[in-house]
A and B are shown apart, each in its own frame.
Chain A
Amino acid sequence: RKEVEQDPGPFNVPEGATVAFNCTYSNSASQSFFWYRQDCRKEPKLLMSVYSSGNEDGRFTAQLNRASQYISLLIRDSKLSDSATYLCAVRENTDKLIFGTGTRLQVFP
């Protein structure tokens, strides 16, 4: 079993839709969690950290469920510009981040 798993998608959604991605992790000692966005042929860019209490940034909401060992990302009112690959990343007890394979989102008009 991979340390961090994501559904690769693609998720094809119309503009204005709400879409959610989950990411599961295997190490219960994991300490920090992040969502990154990666556009085609570009580097990953930090979208948001994920806090235990959940956090929101505009149309984006991140949640952490430690009991079930997953994090989620909810995107409301999807825009065409949200089309990208969304990578989850987990930090265990060292500084390195372990990334999932990414979930591809395609928003269509």
Chain B
Amino acid sequence: GAGVSQSPRYKVAKRGQDVALRCDPISGHVSLFWYQQALGQGPEFLTYFQNEAQLDKSGLPSDRFFAERPEGSVSTLKIQRTQQEDSAVYLCASSSGQIYGYTFGSGTRLTVV
């Protein structure tokens, strides 16, 4: 597609519920990144894929967070047993190479109530 597509745009979850956030990167982009952005803060790195390989997951805040990209294109970020502190905007970005910046999707705004 022309840009990075994320769904859903908004998600309200009850505490303890599992959620799945989807990211469809720009066609042909090898690298895919997930970030978490809290209000008034910059994006915080969560995890990164090159094709289907998850090369860095050092930013995932707990083992309740899990990401996958099984066929090297679409990625899913799953959060199990959501907590209020998980409320944030989850941004996905893709890139075609190290010298380039990222293109971000519109994000998923997650609110845990």
Taking a contact as CB atoms under 8 Å apart, the answer to whether A96 and B33 are in contact is yes
A contact residues around B107 at 8 Å (CB): 43
A contact residues around B40 at 8 Å (CB): 8, 101
Chain A contacts with B in 46-67, Cβ cutoff 8 A: 46, 49
Smallest CB separation, B89 vs chain A (Å)? 8
Chain B interface size band reads 20 to 34
Smallest CB separation, B47 vs chain A (Å)? 9
Across the interface, B95 reaches (CB within 8 A) one of A6, A31, A95, A101, namely A95
**Is there a chain A Cβ closer than 8 Å to B76's Cβ?**
no
Contact flag A95-B55 (CB < 8 Å), given A89-B101, A100-B42, A102-B42 = yes
Across the interface, A46 reaches (CB within 8 A) one of B43, B44, B99, B102, namely B102
Taking a contact as CB atoms under 8 Å apart, the answer to whether A32 and B99 are in contact is yes
Count of chain A to chain B residue pairs whose CB atoms are closer than 8 Å in the complex: 56
The main secondary structure of chain A at its interface with chain B is strand
B contact residues around A89 at 8 Å (CB): 101
CB-CB nearest in chain B for A4: B42
Across the interface, B101 reaches (CB within 8 A) one of A4, A6, A49, namely A49
Taking a contact as CB atoms under 8 Å apart, the answer to whether B104 and A45 are in contact is yes
Q: How many residues of A contact B (CB 8 A)?
A: 25
The answer for the CA separation of A16 and B81 in the assembled complex, in Å, is 50
Taking a contact as CB atoms under 8 Å apart, the answer to whether A43 and B91 are in contact is yes
**Is there a chain A Cβ closer than 8 Å to B31's Cβ?**
yes
CB-CB nearest in chain B for A94: B56
Taking a contact as CB atoms under 8 Å apart, the answer to whether B48 and A96 are in contact is yes
B contact residues around A96 at 8 Å (CB): 33, 45, 48, 56
**Is there a chain A Cβ closer than 8 Å to B50's Cβ?**
yes
Report which A residues bind B (CB closer than 8 A): 4, 6, 8, 31-32, 34, 36, 42-46, 49, 87, 89, 91, 94-102
